[in-house]
Amino acid sequence: MTEEKFFERLRDDARSLRYEGDDFLAARLAARVRDRITRPPTVAQFLAAWARPLAASLAALVLSVTLSLTWTQRHQDSNETIASNPIDIAMAGELYGVGD
């Protein structure tokens, strides 16, 4: 069976499953959309409209503070390890210290 015959047969089989709405389908859909748009928001929807942006802002603030504190601590830790372990270089029998 070639691809072309397969798709022809598939279309023929699916033709009986196709939904064709009646004449009033578009009018009913438009009426339902209009009703949902003009309906006043409930208390839960009103609170959600205020709470979502506040929660997103708070989450962004917490994330930025967490990242900056982590970066600062890692940066300070790397400076402390260099200061606590001085580097000594021996050359031609002389000992030189870096950071002294």
The 3-state DSSP composition of the chain as helix, strand, coil percent (nearest 5) reads 70, 10, 20
Return the closest-CA partner of residue 88 out of 76, 79, 98: 98
Q: What is the pLDDT of residue 64?
A: 96
Can you read off the two tokens belonging to residue 5?
């015959």
Given a cut of 60, whether residue 83 has pLDDT beyond it is no
Given a cut of 60, whether residue 94 has pLDDT beyond it is yes
Q: 34-78: per-residue pLDDT in tens?
A: 998 999 989 998 999 899 999 999 999 999 999 999 988 887 755
The Cα–Cα gap between 29 and 85 comes to 75
Q: What is the pLDDT of residue 21?
A: 76
34 or 97: whose pLDDT is higher?
A: 34
pTM over 0.75: no
The Cα–Cα gap between 78 and 100 comes to 18
